[in-house]
Amino acid sequence: MIEILPAIDIIDGKCVRLTKGDYNTVKRYDADPADMVRRYVDHGFRRVHTVDLDGARCSAPCNLRALERMASVNGAEIEWGGGLKSQQALDDSLNAGASFLVVGSLAVKSPQLFAGWLERYGADRMVLGADADSDGHVAVNGWEEKSELTLENLIDRFIPAGLTQVITTDISCDGMLQGPSFKLYERLMEEYPSIIFTASGGISSLADIGRLATDGVPRVIVGKAIYENRISLKELEKINA
Long-range residue pairs from 206-211, CB within 8 A, at least 24 positions apart, any chain: 206/231, 206/235, 206/239, 208/179, 208/180, 209/2, 209/4, 209/236, 209/239, 211/182
Q: How far is CA 176 from the centre of its chain?
A: 16
Beta bridge partners of 129: 167
Contact 195, 166 (CB under 8 A): yes
Indicate the helix (H) or strand (E) that contains 23. Answer: strand 22-28
3-state secondary structure of 174: coil
The CA-to-CA distance between both ends of the chain, in Å, stands at 9
Catalytic residue among 9, 52, 54, 170: 9
Task: Calculate the CA 142 to chain-centre distance.
Answer: 12
9 included as an active-site residue: yes
CA distance 93 to 71: 10
Residue of 52, 54, 131, 174 marked catalytic: 131
75 three-class SS:
coil
For this structure, is 131 an active site residue? yes
Amino acid at 42: D
Residues catalogued as catalytic: 9, 131
